[in-house]
Amino acid sequence: MLKVMLVDDEPYILEGLSVLIDWQEQGCQIVKKASNGKEAIDYLKDNEVDIVFADIKMPVMTGIELMQSVREDNISDAYFVIISGYNDFHYAQAALKYSALEYLLKPVAADSLMQVIEKVKNKKVTDSSVDEATADARKAYLIQNIMLLLAGKHKEKHTDYIRRNLHRYGDGDFRFVNIAYGNINSLEEKSDDEIIAIKDRLYERLKSTLGDNSDRLMADIPGYTDEYELSFIYSDDLASEYGSDVSNYLDKLADSVEDSDDDYDLVFLVGKKVEDLSKLSRSYSSAAALRPYRSFGRDKRIYIYEDDVQAGEANVLLCKDELDGLISGIELGDSDKINTSVDALFDKTSGSEGLSDRAMSINTNYLLFRLLHLAVELDESINQEEVMLYISDNALIHGTDRGSSMHLKQFGYEYAEYLASLRKNASKGILHDIEKELALNYAQNITLKDLSAKYYVNSSYLGQLFKKRYGVSFKDYLSGIRINEAASLLLKTDKKVSEIAEEVGYRDTDYFIDRFIALKGCTPSKYRKKG
């Protein structure tokens, strides 16, 4: 008989679970009903249990804290099943971090309980089942090696590990692919929590569709803004599934994961082809270089570096005079000159067929090079990749049709303001003032956009200043202040964790705990005990 423990702070749920199925008929015996994690730990220290069904949110000790304590202190080898009323990927991530067997949503169905029991039986019978903790560790180490590879800081041992552990690794060519949402304007209208939920759903759909190839899927790539948090390593052997090339493969992938409920189309930025995995950083940087081309070019689902950046064609139309006029207007901050130059450019290119894709690429190349040069002339220390990041982000202007004359005019106005920020050399005193403001008001809902408006600095430029000065993004800097203050309160007061979370600016206690673990390496409760 499998020994089962039920843990929930609501008595009626405990009783409901105990009668939901015939436990004895399923080969189980309920040996303990606990009302919180602390009570469960006390029992586990002296008794053997095979499965623990634990609610995720409980007083005294949550289900996640219970599982963390059991794993870290080697109290029990019991399988954990987390039960939650929250369909939130962050909760599932936390559960998976400590090797939860399953994550069930309330109300729990009888079939779900029986499936879990069957799963545990199979795991106990055979040694061939994959240990989930080991699998998680392998995936984490694989991603770590891939990150070193993308940054160009890898050694041969890192690429060897990737070759051994990347599913279906072959001898074909490789490409780095960024995955983004097509209609970013709609995303801008969403709250941060809504955007996170949308991206989590996309990640799970991609992971499910890719199956064994999901180890090629990555989230939260450093150096990318929210819109480009998902990436993928493509190799030619994958296209053999459809008997075609990278475009067809990604088309099929997009068709299989796009969800009408979300109403967001996918866009792929495909880096240049490299003949060996060790050279993937070149494809990674070229995929990033595609971002501004997507901003100015025609709407497409798939952008490929060789087609959109390296395009070349003899005798194509280069609208040099019109582009030079636009660039001059931007440099001078002259809105009238920007308007007339854009109108002249569109008059010249508005024939029956307009510019070909290759001609559009060459004109875009010329414009981007000149805009980048203007920024570097004003600040030689500026990171050119960050300038390209600014261009791509601000060229996707809310409220205008991308590729229209009004779209290009509005971008011209924005870039003129950006250059003006560089001229002011705003870094001399502004960060000191912002430091003091954040030290006093860290618990407020402060955004980079709010600060840029208050101090009259372009928000993208201010973001660059933060990364240069502190080595982290504005959000991470603010999070560090909040978590450090929370750590101090944990040691100096006896306030509840939820009270401290709210006091330092977190409305969601579970999200606060996740951030605390990420920065301090343990839960708030454990930090307080150590102190």
What is the model's pLDDT at position 382?
A: 63
In whole angstroms, give the CA distance from residue 463 to residue 460. Answer: 5
Q: Hey, what's the torsion of the CAs at 522, 524, 528, 529, to 10 degrees?
A: -50
CA dihedral (398, 400, 402, 407) positive or negative: negative
Strands 230-235, 217-219: parallel, antiparallel or unpaired by DSSP?
A: antiparallel
Nearest alpha carbon to residue 9 among 51, 54, 58: 58
* Structural class in CATH, domain 2-129: alpha beta
CA distances from 224 to 125, 221, 337, 386, 388 (A): 45, 6, 33, 10, 12
Report whether 310 contacts 325 (CB < 8 A). no
Q: 66-72 long-range CB contacts below 8 Å, 24 or more apart?
A: 66/7, 66/37, 66/40, 66/41, 67/95, 67/98, 67/99, 67/100, 68/98, 68/523, 68/526, 69/37, 69/41, 69/526, 70/41, 70/44, 71/98, 71/99
Instruction: Record the tokens describing residue 149, joined without a space.
Output: 């590879």
Q: Across all residues in the chain, what is the average pLDDT?
A: 79
Number of neighbouring beta carbons within 10 Å of residue 436: 10
The vertex-282 CA angle with 276 and 285, nearest 5°, equals 145
Nearest alpha carbon to residue 528 among 513, 506, 510: 513
pLDDT band at 204 (very low <50, low <70, confident <90, very high): confident
What is the model's pLDDT at position 210?
A: 84
DSSP 420-451: HHHHTTGGGTHHHHHHHHHHHHTTS---HHHH
CA distances from 19 to 14, 107, 421 (A): 9, 14, 67
What's this model's pTM, rounded to 2 decimal places? 0.46
pLDDT for residue 403 is more than 70: no
Q: 499-504 long-range CB contacts below 8 Å, 24 or more apart?
A: 500/524, 503/443, 504/442, 504/443
Query: Directed axis angle between helix 89-97 and helix 63-72, to 10°?
Result: 20
pLDDT band at 482 (very low <50, low <70, confident <90, very high): very high
Nearest alpha carbon to residue 377 among 331, 320, 322: 331
3-state secondary structure of 55: strand
pLDDT band at 66 (very low <50, low <70, confident <90, very high): very high
What is the model's pLDDT at position 315?
A: 45
Report whether 382 contacts 422 (CB < 8 A). yes
**What count of residues does the chain have?**
531
Nearest alpha carbon to residue 40 among 61, 10, 22, 71: 61
Report whether 486 contacts 531 (CB < 8 A). no
In whole angstroms, give the CA distance from residue 510 to residue 207. Answer: 25
* Structural class in CATH, domain 427-531: mainly alpha
What is the model's pLDDT at position 8?
A: 94
Instruction: Point out which residues pair with 270 in neighbouring strands.
Output: 177, 304
In whole angstroms, give the CA distance from residue 222 to residue 229. Answer: 8
- What would the pLDDT profile of 308-348 be if each residue is shown by its tens digit? 765 544 445 678 888 889 989 988 889 999 999 988 888 87
Taking the domains of the chain in order of start, what are their residue ranges? 2-129, 134-304, 320-423, 427-531
The vertex-451 CA angle with 424 and 228, nearest 5°, equals 95
What is the model's pLDDT at position 21?
A: 94
What is the model's pLDDT at position 261?
A: 59
Instruction: Record the tokens describing residue 341, joined without a space.
Output: 């130059």
Instruction: Record the tokens describing residue 207, joined without a space.
Output: 């992971």
Instruction: Record the tokens describing residue 347, joined without a space.
Output: 């008059």
Report whether 288 contacts 388 (CB < 8 A). yes
Strand ranges (E), 236-371: 266-270, 302-304
What is the model's pLDDT at position 266?
A: 82
pLDDT for residue 94 is more than 80: no
- What would the pLDDT profile of 442-470 be if each residue is shown by its tens digit? 898 888 888 877 776 667 777 777 877 78
pLDDT band at 181 (very low <50, low <70, confident <90, very high): confident
Report whether 80 contacts 86 (CB < 8 A). no
Report whether 498 contacts 508 (CB < 8 A). no
pLDDT band at 292 (very low <50, low <70, confident <90, very high): low
What is the model's pLDDT at position 400?
A: 47
In whole angstroms, give the CA distance from residue 221 to residue 150. Answer: 10
Q: Residue 237, CB half-sphere, CA atoms under 13 Å: how many?
A: 10
Mean pLDDT of 12-22: 92
